[in-house]
Every structure is written in structure tokens, then in C-alpha cells.
Structure 1
Amino acid sequence: MHKLPSDADVARAIGETTIRGEERRDHTARSVRDALAERLGVDPRQLGGLSAEIATRALANLNLTLERLRQLEEEAAVDELTGVYRRGHGMMILTREVRRAFRSPDERLIVAFIDVDGLKWFNDTAGHAEGDRLLKDLTTSMTKRLRSHDIVFRYGGDEFVCILPGANLEGAAPIFAAVAESFSEGGEDRRFSVGLAELREGDTPDGLVARADTALYEARARAGHRRRESNRVQA
């Protein structure tokens, strides 16, 4: 026959269970307070008076707020019309990629400066809605033909900058030829000019973009000369 526990044994067991429960609650509260303190960037001891329930609610609300802020930052970084990055965010990415390239053994990086040919004519003759569609079609062609890790951002108006990490001039040229072919599928009068600049020692992000911009105008001047020569031959 089993001996029934005494009242003292029962009281001791209840006390031990209560202590273990309190220890678990204290451990949970400390863990939540530590997590909250880490997100807030403060010493966990400053939150010592918070219960686990209050700390958990505060942490959940803080996470929601930070996530919403992240979403707002992403929305602010994207150009509404074209869906690519805005200039400010794009230049931040370029700065990061330039630094990364200089740490890399081969230091390869291409920046392309792109300008739509005749956008003012499109706006004046077909309306600004058609001009907007032209810009959207160009960015669609770029995102289709560029590599998945390449970056496109709108520099201003009808100007775009593409960042091609790890690429060189020989590899970049065929990519933009494919972009031009895709873009022209909507009409023979759909053209853009592009200038390419390869990263050099001592380059800055702004300097790299400026060299690509200069290369664009040089390419446009050569193309204009070829068209004039062609017209003379036909005449």
C-alpha cells in the first residue's frame, strides 16, 4: 500500500513548482527585455521594470513600425513612372559598388549613361502620355536584357544610369545592343544613345557617371555624322 504524501510534502512540491514557474517567467521576461533593448539600442538594465507581457507588446509594435519604415524607404527609393530606382538611391548603390570593386582583385565595373533620342518630339507630337510610355518601355527593355544583378536608376528626365558589376567594355556593348533591339520592336523611331565608362583607379561615383555621360555625347556625335554621310550618299 502506497504511503500518501504528507501535507508538508505537498506544500513543498507546490512551492518548488511555483519557484520553477517564476524562474521560467523571469527568464522569458529577461529574454524579451534583452531583445527589446537590442532593437532600441539601450542597456537592458534600463528596461528592468518591464513585465514580459509589456515588453513583448512593445517589441511587436516596434518591429511593425520598423518594417513599415523600411517599406516607406523602399517606396521613396523607386521612381513612380518607370519602376526603377530614383537618382539618390541609385547613387548610393553606385558608391557601394565602386567600393566593392576596388576591394576586388579585378576591379571590374561598368557604368552606362542612357538618354532617349527625340523624347521632346514624342511629347510634342504624340503627347506626354506617349512619352511616358516610351520611358516605361525602355526600362522594361533594360530590365529584360540586363543581368539579374545589374542596377538601373533614373538619373533625371529621359536619362538613366545602369550599373554593371564585374563587367568590362567588351561584355557590356552586346548587352546594350540587345536592349536597343528590344526597344526598337515598338517602332523604328524608338532609339536611345548610350555611353559606357569602365572603372579606373581613383574613380569616384560622380566622376564615373560624368565619364559615361561624356561618352554618350561622343557616341551621339559619331552617330549623327554617320547619318549625315549616309544622306549625302543617297542624295
Structure 2
Amino acid sequence: MAHYELIMYGSETCILSGVTDITPLKRVEENLAEHANYDALTGILNRRGGLEALNNWLANPHSEASSCIVCFIDLNNLKQVNDCYGHQAGDEMIKEVCTVISERLHAEDLFFRYGGDEFIILFFQKDWQQVTSIWASIQQMFAEKNSSSGKPYTLSASRVLYHCEKDTDLSIEEIIKRADLEMYKDKQGQRLASSPFGEMV
């Protein structure tokens, strides 16, 4: 960083200059920015970073993608794993799920942690069938890992899809809320279907 200032030296006007190396400061700023946008446990984007990326896409008129498919993910049985085997096991479960999902995504897809056991994928430049196929491959990898891991818990996650157009009048919060509502209805349907009496359990 250079700084210049006009000063009088005797009867002459001079320029006083100073140079400071701010490389270490910039490195600290970059590290802080990275920590602010990434989840410490999984290494993927956190809620702040993910929603900021979604907002940037909505606000960018030059983006190649005119729409995206929001995939709202809810890990199954995380509370039970934490209660039965401890939070370390729960953390391992979260990390394993994120690793499997990340390995199946493409460079243009955006994956972030929305909450404790809730995650979101933003699929750009893909249709419904392509997204469904990707999720099927994720489920297949869950099954393969479960059969060979020898761990007392299984990797499992539920998901719902919500199609979002760039020119939508909905806010980011409303988009996420709609996807979350679809997840809630899906979970309620699963509970109803699993009850032998046709009632919620």
C-alpha cells in the first residue's frame, strides 16, 4: 500500500511517499472471509455463503442459467445417532454424507449446509431427470457404504426438489421456505405411510 502527501520542504513543494507491505494483513482477511463462508465441520459452504451465492445468481442478469433446481436435504436419524452413539458419531455421519454428495456433484452445482442436519444443493443447467439421476447415484453410494462400513448407523437422507426461475418474485427466504415446506409434507407422508393404523406416529 502506497501513501502520498504534499508537503513543504523549505520553500519547495515536495511529495512525501510511504510504502507499507500489507500482504500479511490481506492473508488474514482472506482467512477470515473463508471461515465466515465455510462450515468448519464439513468444509462445504455454510448457510451464509450458500444464501449469498443464491442471491448473487438471482441478481446477476448475465448468468447462463435462467433457472435452478433447489434440492432440500434432511439427514435421517441424526438425533438418534447422537443420542445412542454420541455427537462424535453424529459428526462423522454428517461428514460422510457430505463427502458422498460432493463426489456426485458437478462443478456448476452448489452445495451448502443450511442448518444442523439440513443441506441444500442448487442444481444449475440441469433438468428434473438429470437431478433425479444424480440423487439416485447418491442413494446408491449410501447403500454401498452402509453395506461395508461396519458402523452402527446407516447413511440416509431425504430430499425434495423445488424449481426456481431467475425472474421469480420470491425472496431467497421464501424460496427456501417453500422447499422446506415440501420437505415437511414429505416427512409427514412418510410417517403416515409407516403407521400400521394409518395415523401419524
Shorter-chain-normalised TM-score: which range? 0.7 to 0.9
- 1:130 is aligned to 89
Is 1:94 the counterpart of 2:54? The answer is yes
Give the Cα–Cα distance (whole angstroms) in 2 for the partners of residues 225 and 146 of structure 1.
Answer: 32
Post-superposition shift, 1:138? 0.8
Is 1:154 the counterpart of 2:113? The answer is yes
Is 1:36 the counterpart of 2:9? The answer is no
Contact 1:97 1:165 in 2 (8 A): no
Post-superposition shift, 1:136? 0.3
The partner residue of 2:23 within 58, 63, 66 is 63
Post-superposition shift, 1:228? 4.6
- 1:212 is aligned to 179
TM-score (norm. length: structure 1): 0.68
Give the Cα–Cα distance (whole angstroms) in 1 for the partners of residues 114 and 40 of structure 2.
Answer: 13
Post-superposition shift, 1:36? 3.2
- 1:49 is aligned to 16
Amino acid at match of 1:91: L
Q: Which has the higher strand share?
A: 2
- 1:194 is aligned to 159
Give the Cα–Cα distance (whole angstroms) in 1 for the partners of residues 135 and 34 of structure 2.
Answer: 27
Amino acid at match of 1:49: L
Amino acid at match of 2:131: A
- The higher radius of gyration belongs to 1
RMSD of aligned alpha carbons = 2.7
TM-score (norm. length: structure 2): 0.78
- Identify if the C-alpha distance between structure 1 residues 178 and 224 changes in structure 2 by more than 3 Å, giving closer, same or farther: farther
Post-superposition shift, 1:168? 3.1
Query: Greater shift after overlay, 119-128 or 62-71?
Result: 62-71
Q: Structure 1 segments of 4 or more deviating over 3 A?
A: 44-48, 102-106, 221-229
Contact 1:142 1:179 in 2 (8 A): yes
Give the Cα–Cα distance (whole angstroms) in 1 for the partners of residues 182 and 112 of structure 2.
Answer: 18
Post-superposition shift, 1:225? 4.4
Instruction: Please state whether the residue corresponding to 1:49 is helix, strand or coil.
Output: strand
Q: Which has the higher helix share?
A: 1
- Identify if the C-alpha distance between structure 1 residues 110 and 36 changes in structure 2 by more than 3 Å, giving closer, same or farther: farther
Instruction: Please state whether the residue corresponding to 1:199 is helix, strand or coil.
Output: strand
- Identify if the C-alpha distance between structure 1 residues 203 and 127 changes in structure 2 by more than 3 Å, giving closer, same or farther: same
- Identify if the C-alpha distance between structure 1 residues 115 and 67 changes in structure 2 by more than 3 Å, giving closer, same or farther: same
Post-superposition shift, 1:116? 0.5
Give the Cα–Cα distance (whole angstroms) in 2 for the partners of residues 49 and 109 of structure 1.
Answer: 54
Give the Cα–Cα distance (whole angstroms) in 2 for the partners of residues 211 and 221 of structure 1.
Answer: 15
Give the Cα–Cα distance (whole angstroms) in 1 for the partners of residues 32 and 109 of structure 2.
Answer: 23
Q: What is the correspondence of 1:169-180 to structure 2 with a 5 Å cutoff?
A: 169-180=128-139
Give the Cα–Cα distance (whole angstroms) in 2 for the partners of residues 173 and 135 of structure 1.
Answer: 22
Give the Cα–Cα distance (whole angstroms) in 2 for the partners of residues 46 and 173 of structure 1.
Answer: 65
Post-superposition shift, 1:88? 1.1
Give the Cα–Cα distance (whole angstroms) in 1 for the partners of residues 99 and 6 of structure 2.
Answer: 52
Give 5+ residue unaligned stretches, structure 1: 1-34, 38-43
Post-superposition shift, 1:46? 6.2
